[in-house]
Structure 1
Amino acid sequence: MDDRSRATRDQDIVSGINRRTGAGLRAVGRAEHGRLGGAIYASWPDGRPAVVTRFLGPPAEAERTAEVLGYVRDRGLPVPRYDLVVDLGDSVVLVQERLPSAPPRRLSPARVDALVEINDRFADALAARPDVPAPQLCLYCSGDPCRRYEVLEAHSPRSRGVLDEILRIVGRREPASMAGSDLVHVDLTAANVLFDEDDRATGVVDWNLGAFRGDRLFALVKTRIDREWFVRAPDADPVENAAAAHLDEILRDRLAPDTLRSYWAHWMLYQLCWAIQSASAEAVGWQLDLAESRLA
């Protein structure tokens, strides 16, 4: 999609929000990062900045996420306020507070420490909210609509070997919900953490897959998987490589080995299923490398 087509689409989304809510928003730009190619920057009639993003789930789940984030924000946690949840028919969109600062253009070991520190602020944030669900681990089910086991089984001898190891890990654990009372971000990539000019993490954004209750360290495994795209780049940045290695050390230090392996098993099953169906053969290959090394 070229810039003009994207701008037209953004304006159509904002116009749809205005028709349904009378918000009077105006599209003013687009973020560089994000799952959907960047959020829409907008402004309210009084000039306040806003961000418009798509929620990847039903309206009821978006409303629940907005309520949970409002609850923890009122208690001082660095998350955005959701002002509107709007069902546009073909999609659900969120109009949220635009927090200051920006995502990092590269991740250094020091920024990894800052990211881990802000994630630690979510510890026990939902201790009084047993109603908030835990993330659904994809280890314990397959078949329609998510045929994860079947995708790995059909792809190659290597993917079948990874699936066998995942099933061995599953066999040693009860299929229960994740324990813990932390606030959990299930898409905690570096692009979803805001930093100030002094490399301090100031906010966590893009909760477009929902807000959950469980073990906040689960989110850091996703952070690490996302860094592998940078580690595997042909012109890999040594600083990015050092950041990934540092995060590996943190995960090994802070999680029991069996728990860490089960988290890796969840995320690698999820990632490999997606990659086999959507990514290049090269990307599938290095994700198999990562899975074999972390599940061994």
Structure 2
Amino acid sequence: MTSSPQKMTSAPQNRTRAERLDPDRLVAAVHARTGVRLVVEGPCPGGEVGAAYVRWPDGHRSVLKWRPGTRLDALRAGPLTVCEVLRGRGYPCPSTELALQVDDAVVLVQQLLPGAPPKLLDHRGLDRALALNESQAGLLAGHRDVPPVNLHLLDDGPGYCLHEPLRRHSRRGAALERRVRSVGAAHPPLLAGDDVVHQDFHHGNLLAVDGAVTGVVDWDGAGRGDRRFDLVTLRFGLHAGRQPPGVARRLDAVLDALPEDVLRPCWAHMSLRMADWAVRHFAPGETEHWLDLAEQRL
């Protein structure tokens, strides 16, 4: 998540605010099961659930994360495979150094990449984001076992993209939810294609050093589909706060050139995702902020 006033949604995950990461408990579980003793150094900035910096016995530092309500075999079939494919092509995503099932959750220890999320996405950063997105094309053609992205336009997602909260919020929210369902009735529920899809590709999940993008993180919701979904997510991320002049306009021009049968269902998904999340988790007035953007293309 970004830390801007309107905030951007985290990767689709079935988490609640009560399920925040407890790094001391998790490193104790890692030690009990593997004999590896990690030292917690402190929380990583940002995020709804959180991540923590840890140090290995040999001194190198990593990022500790967890996924409640998740099975390790599901992660291996999806996001972990996606990251292996990307890294094999030189894409700057973190490696997974340890993955462990702890009760009903998965504990992940991932490579700490250099850099920090930029507060703003400037034109240089947008150029890099567009190039990275283009490089995701077709990479999963040989990995059909990676699950396709579900848009949840007619059904609820697991903890996100919930329809009922939006219907109950206001007449405006209910009208948007009806438009989302209308799009869902006219399009397949799963994204077509063999591209890598990050699912939460916004500038809060980019890392940069001196303005140069050095990595893309938070691949926990990654799947297979059409990479251009991530460009729609990026546009919603820009709406979370003020950006340098012309950046959003440039991205809008890219979206304007997309086929309607790609843009419309992806936009409907992000509209539902952000408006529903705002209704349930953000300050009361912020929902209107997301409805404003959603209605621009629905």
The TM-score by the shorter chain falls in which range? 0.7 to 0.9
- Tell whether the 8 Å contact from 1:138 to 1:270 is kept in structure 2 after alignment: no
Of 277-286 and 27-36, deviating more is 27-36
**Equivalent residue runs for 1:137-286 within 5 Å:** 137-142=151-156, 148-173=162-187, 175-197=188-210, 199-209=211-221, 211-231=222-242, 239=244, 242-253=246-257, 255-286=258-289
Q: 1:145 to 1:193 in 2, by over 3 A?
A: closer
d(CA) in 2 for partners of 1:33, 1:183 = 25
Counterpart of 1:220, as a letter, is: L
- Tell whether the 8 Å contact from 1:139 to 1:170 is kept in structure 2 after alignment: yes
Q: 1:41 aligns with which of 44, 53, 65?
A: 53
Match of 1:31 in 2: 44
Match of 2:89 in 1: 75
Counterpart of 1:213, as a letter, is: R
d(CA) in 2 for partners of 1:291, 1:82 = 35
Equivalences, count: 276
> Which has the larger helix fraction?
1
d(CA) in 1 for partners of 2:167, 2:183 = 16
Shift, 1:135, TM fit: 0.9
Q: 2:141 aligns with which of 117, 121, 127?
A: 127
Cα deviations by residue, 1:107-138 (Å, 9 ceiling, x for unpaired): 11221121121222211111111111111111
Please tell me the root mean square deviation across aligned C-alpha atoms, in Å.
Answer: 2.4
d(CA) in 1 for partners of 2:152, 2:200 = 15
Unaligned regions of 5+ residues in structure 2, if any? 1-20
d(CA) in 1 for partners of 2:288, 2:240 = 12
d(CA) in 2 for partners of 1:48, 1:123 = 33
d(CA) in 2 for partners of 1:224, 1:147 = 18
Q: 1:57 to 1:63 in 2, by over 3 A?
A: farther
Shift, 1:248, TM fit: 1.9
Give the match's secondary structure for 1:230. Answer: coil
Shift, 1:208, TM fit: 2.2
d(CA) in 2 for partners of 1:43, 1:156 = 48
Q: 1:292 aligns with which of 267, 290, 295?
A: 295
d(CA) in 2 for partners of 1:153, 1:35 = 24
> Relative contact order (C-alpha < 8 Å, sep 6+): which is higher?
2
Q: 2:117 aligns with which of 94, 99, 103?
A: 103
- Tell whether the 8 Å contact from 2:81 to 2:146 is kept in structure 1 after alignment: no
Q: 1:273 to 1:106 in 2, by over 3 A?
A: same
* Percent of aligned pairs sharing the same letter: 35
Cα deviations by residue, 1:6-34 (Å, 9 ceiling, x for unpaired): xx943332222222222221122332233
TM-score (norm 2): 0.83
Match of 1:19 in 2: 32
Of 46-55 and 147-156, deviating more is 147-156
